[in-house]
Amino acid sequence: MRTSSFKVNQILQNQISKTFCQLIADLNTPEETNLFLKDFFNESEYETFAKRAAVAYWLKKGRSYANIKENLKVSSATIATIQTLLVKPGFKLALKKIEAEEWANQWVQKIKKFTKLKQ
């Protein structure tokens, strides 16, 4: 990842990072988060980050490099890089959140079906 060649004082950098993380944490809904991210990142940056998450998710689900490359239009090098990042705590946490949301949505659908049958 490329960083700025102009370094900020470390104390200030820590405060900027804390503030940014708090900002992200304070976004309450997927709609708020999407609105912020689409305004904050340019289209290419947004797509890059979204694709990274998708590649990680699909790798975790066991999809092949070829399938991911074809569907997400990413390079084998990108997939390989993300494969190595899957062991990092941040990636593990993100995938756990995605899987929890997926699990919850599946149960919502099952409950909706069940309640329709009862009526």
pLDDT in tens, 16-49: 999 999 999 999 998 999 999 999 999 999 999 9
Residue 59: partners with Cβ closer than 8 Å, 6 or more residues away: 68, 79, 82, 83, 86
Its pTM surpasses 0.85: no
